[in-house]
Structure 1
Amino acid sequence: MSWLQVVVLSVVQGLTEFLPISSSGHLAITSRLFFSEDAGASFTAVSQLGTEAAVLVFFAKDIVRIVRAWFAGLFDRERRDVDYRMGWFVIIGTIPICVLGLLFKDVIRSGARNLWIVATALIVFALVIAAAEYFGRQTRHAEQLTFRDAVIVGFAQCLALIPGVSRSGATISAGLFLGIDRELAARFGFLLAIPAVLASGLFSLPDAFEPVKEGMSATGPQLLVSVVIAFAVGLAAIAWLLRFLVSHSMYWFVGYRIALGVIVMILLGTGVMSAT
């Protein structure tokens, strides 16, 4: 990989990881449109370590509070409050994507990154997000979350294994369908992503240096710079998105996803861009 490619893709990763527009889809599109070759799923997974570090920093107080409450509640029934339950929700909600990610890792790293699939996912899931925004009652809050909610949102997160879907788009949409308010759905989705993304990034680290299947190799300094850039840009993106969702709907992202999906299909159909 060239340094220009590393910098551009890291900025794209930081900007798109938390928005419901699919960071993996954007990385695949940007790679092929401007650099003629896909950087690969492993580079994407490693760069996500930067954006997940941004989550750890941004939600540091919440994470510490939840971890403390979880350990306290394990030994004292009287201290099993909302934060204690949230700890269990994150653990339970993480299991589906860990299992499916391991089972389908080879498909994720190769065939699923076809740009026809990415473009289709952008458009189709835009309609899912629109439906969630339209039908979501947003009447349920943190103290009303249940284990059933954690399982459903956890399985929704698995859809993010398909480039073009979006992890935040899937988890926020699932939360809205369950009646959870939009900001809480986003916060829960971010917390839920931490274990899965950190595990995926560390697991993919060796392959980012020497790809076994598809993708380009990167040096240690390039991967480090990628993580740092993704962290800085991602931290700003989280703060912006949470403020945005307080007073704006998800429809803004629906229009963007459909437009991008159509443009990619046109570029693919006219031969301007290669699907693989």
Structure 2
Amino acid sequence: MEWFHIIVLSLIQGITEFLPVSSSAHLILPSQLLEWPDQGQAFDVAVHVGTLLAVIMAFRRELLATSRGWFRHVLQGQASAESRLGWAIIIGTLPAALAGLIFEKHIEQYTRSMLVIAVTTILFGLVLWWADSKGKRSDELDRMSWSKALLIGLAQVLALIPGTSRSGITLTAALLLGFNRQAAARFSFLLSIPLILAAGGLKTLELVESGNGAQWNDMLLGALLSFLSALLCIKLFLAALNRIGMLPFVIYRLALGVALLFIAL
């Protein structure tokens, strides 16, 4: 890969992974719009490792407290707000994990087109705007029940379709269930950790089995850039979220979707 391609794709992954604009769509677009060569699975694994480390770093205190609470509940039967959040993350992860195992190849075959990305970018952008406008935005994260976590997890299944945005659809579902923007965003970020970990693990196994790889320099640079950009993006997004809301991302999605429709059609 050329150095310029590595830098651009790494920054795209880092910036868009946790924003409600679809990282998968943005990673597909350079190859289709600019005719860049496909970056390959090894590079995808590297930049996903970078974003995984970023969200773990950003939420290290919450993760440590949640893990301790969950283990105390499992081993000693001591329920707490932290243990409930741990179970909510597990329950919210299961639907997308199962759907990915069953339908990933079909989704890869039939939905990785510019037209699909354009439609889902516009459609789910409008749904996000509606959720942000109509949701009560009153509940904190400690009001996350197993049933609400399951509903958010079921919504997350839609993120398997490029252009939907995993963070966007989980934010949408959480807002519709009455959570405030900060609580919705924090649960969305926490929910991303097991899925990114699972997806990265599966891609790594595929790489090992196929024997294909990439230059270590490319992978290390990609992981570093995606880590730094994702960490900065998470902090800025959470700091500005209550002030700016979802409207800027909705406008961006609509503009991008319309532009892609013109290109696709």
* TM > 0.5: yes
Work out the number of aligned pairs and report it.
Answer: 265
Partner of 1:262: 258
Moved more, 102-111 or 57-66: 102-111
Partner of 2:194: 195
* Equivalent residues of 2:20, 2:166 under 8 A apart: yes
Partner of 1:128: 127
Identity %: 37
Give the alignment's TM-score, normalised by structure 2: 0.92
Counterpart secondary structure, 1:24: helix
1:88 aligns with 2:84: no
CA RMSD, 1 decimal? 2.2
Distance in 1 (alpha carbons) for counterparts of 2:254 and 2:60: 35
* Equivalent residues of 2:97, 2:195 under 8 A apart: yes
* Equivalent residues of 1:54, 1:231 under 8 A apart: yes
Provide, for residues 180-210 of structure 1, a one-character-per-residue CA deviation record: whole Å limited to 9, x for no partner.
1111111001111101111101211254689
Partner of 2:158: 159
Give the alignment's TM-score, normalised by structure 1: 0.89
* Equivalent residues of 1:27, 1:44 under 8 A apart: no
Residues 76/211 of structure 1: CA separation in 2 closer, same or farther (3 Å cut): closer
Question: Alpha-carbon deviation of 1:150?
Answer: 0.7
* Equivalent residues of 2:66, 2:85 under 8 A apart: yes
Residues 122/111 of structure 1: CA separation in 2 closer, same or farther (3 Å cut): same
Distance in 1 (alpha carbons) for counterparts of 2:8 and 2:81: 40
Question: Alpha-carbon deviation of 1:107?
Answer: 2.5
Distance in 2 (alpha carbons) for counterparts of 1:45 and 1:99: 20
Question: Alpha-carbon deviation of 1:37?
Answer: 4.2
Partner of 1:250: 246
1:239 to 235, 242, 257: 235
Distance in 1 (alpha carbons) for counterparts of 2:40 and 2:168: 22
Q: Return 5+ residue gaps in structure 1 as ranges.
A: 270-276
Q: What amino acid is the match of 1:259?
A: A
Q: Return 5+ residue gaps in structure 2 as ranges.
A: none
Partner of 2:55: 55
Partner of 1:226: 222
Provide, for residues 142-179 of structure 1, a one-character-per-residue CA deviation record: whole Å limited to 9, x for no partner.
22211011101111111111111111101110000000
Distance in 2 (alpha carbons) for counterparts of 1:234 and 1:131: 26
Distance in 2 (alpha carbons) for counterparts of 1:155 and 1:45: 25
Q: What amino acid is the match of 1:14?
A: G
* Equivalent residues of 1:209, 1:219 under 8 A apart: no
Question: Alpha-carbon deviation of 1:135?
Answer: 1.1
Partner of 1:183: 182
